[in-house]
Amino acid sequence: EAQVTQNPRYLITVTGKKLTVTCSQNMNHEYMSWYRQDPGLGLRQIYYSMNVEVTDKGDVPEGYKVSRKEKRNFPLILESPSPNQTSLYFCASKNSGPYEQYFGPGTRLTVT
Amino acid sequence: AQSVTQLDSQVPVFEEAPVELRCNYSSSVSVYLFWYVQYPNQGLQLLLKYLSGSTLVESINGFEAEFNKSQTSFHLRKPSVHISDTAEYFCAVTWMDSSYKLIFGSGTRLLVRP
């Protein structure tokens, strides 16, 4: 089944404790992206990657890191999480071009 | 700056009534347009899209949207809603000059009542 997977689905952590949210897709898509969803703000792009070893900042990159060492994986790293990073995070992928993005199931992160 | 506006944060309707969810975007430069739906506690699923061709596009579950270039709008409509349509709906736009960036509206929560 074609899909985007994220782990973990739920995470509660404390301020400053480094964490990684994994994202993997099995559709051989070149493009991958991370979004955060907050009430009343819709989805905002954090980082995106056009292909392996090519990443760039989205609209809200502060406090996040990413890497794209393999085509299928695009982990999101929070080196020192803070409470304002409490949010619902989505990973997405698509083929190159103006095509629809396929979304993972989301990761709900709470930072206390 | 490019932006997408969904003016209605919540739209309550009765079952079998028609509904329109509004979406406007900021620029008339060539665009690609999408509507995504998010059911409770789930990720986003593509509902329908406009890339080119006919300005009226339809989904498999009875929704339709019309691309109106002069009004920079892509409103979503359904002539008769069901309880199962209760969800949050996001309009999203990619501009041709934007290197694939997808910008979302703030979402409209459709609440269908019996």
pLDDT (tens digit per residue) in A7-54: 999 999 999 999 999 999 999 999 999 999 998 888 999 999 999 999
By C-alpha distance, the chain B residue nearest A94 is B100
Tell me how far apart the alpha carbons of residues A72 and A70 are, in angstroms, rounded to a whole number.
6
CB contacts of A90 in chain B (<8 Å) are 43-44
Are A105 and B42 a contacting pair at CB < 8 A? yes
Q: Exposed e or buried b for every residue in B32-63, given b needs 16+ CB within 10 A?
A: bbbbbbbeeeebbebbbbbeeeeeebebeeeb
The pLDDT tens digits of the residues spanning B75-112 come to 999 999 999 999 999 999 987 765 667 889 999 999 99
Tell me how far apart the alpha carbons of residues A68 and A74 are, in angstroms, rounded to a whole number.
5
Tell me how far apart the alpha carbons of residues B101 and B114 are, in angstroms, rounded to a whole number.
39
In Å, how far is A33's CA from the nearest CA of chain B? Answer: 10
CB contacts of A44 in chain B (<8 Å) are 104
Tell me how far apart the alpha carbons of residues A22 and A7 are, in angstroms, rounded to a whole number.
5
Question: Which residues make Cβ contacts (< 8 Å) with residue B54, sequence separation at least 6?
Answer: none
**Inter-chain contacts counted by CB atoms under 8 A, chains A and B:** 52
Strand A10-13 with B31-38, pairing: unpaired
CB-based contact (8 Å) between B43 and chain A?
Answer: yes
Tell me how far apart the alpha carbons of residues A45 and A26 are, in angstroms, rounded to a whole number.
21
The pLDDT tens digits of the residues spanning B13-49 come to 999 999 999 999 987 678 899 999 999 888 899 999 9
CB-based contact (8 Å) between B9 and chain A?
Answer: yes
- From first CA to last CA, the distance across chain B in angstroms is 41
CB-based contact (8 Å) between B109 and chain A?
Answer: no
Most B CBs within 10 Å: which of A38, A54, A59, A101, as the mutation test of the B interface? A101
